[in-house]
Amino acid sequence: MSHEPHPPSDAVELEITDVLDLHSFPPSEVQDLVRDYLDLAYVKGLRKLRIIHGKGRGVQRRMVHAILERDPRVTSFGDPPGEAGGWGATVVEMS
């Protein structure tokens, strides 16, 4: 019986909504993923977003905030109320 590796599957397309949950993505992909998400959300006309990065030690939160600080379309960002994720998520407003 052969144990050859399976060929890589095609990338899965996800629906772009006003929420991006980073929990299912490896940290090494977060920066590119967030940049791509901002681009696609902007094109789709979404201007109020929520990025869920989790609480943990704050590494992903800092990465997300660094990207948002450099994006000229972002007019504001910060922590949502506790019932919407508190510091485990970031709400974003784009122009």
Phi, psi of 76 (to 5 degrees): -165, 160
E strands, the chain, are 19-21, 48-52, 74-78, 89-94
Residue 62 falls inside a structural domain: yes
Residue 13 falls inside a structural domain: no
Residue 61 falls inside a structural domain: yes
Residue 79 falls inside a structural domain: yes
Q: Which residue has the higher pLDDT, 15 or 8?
A: 15
As for how many domains the chain has, the answer is 1
Judged against a pLDDT cut of 70, whether residue 28 lies above it is answered with: yes
26 is in which domain, residue-wise? 19-94
- The pLDDT assigned to 95 comes to 97
pTM: 0.84
Half-sphere exposure of 68 (CA within 13 A, CB side): 22
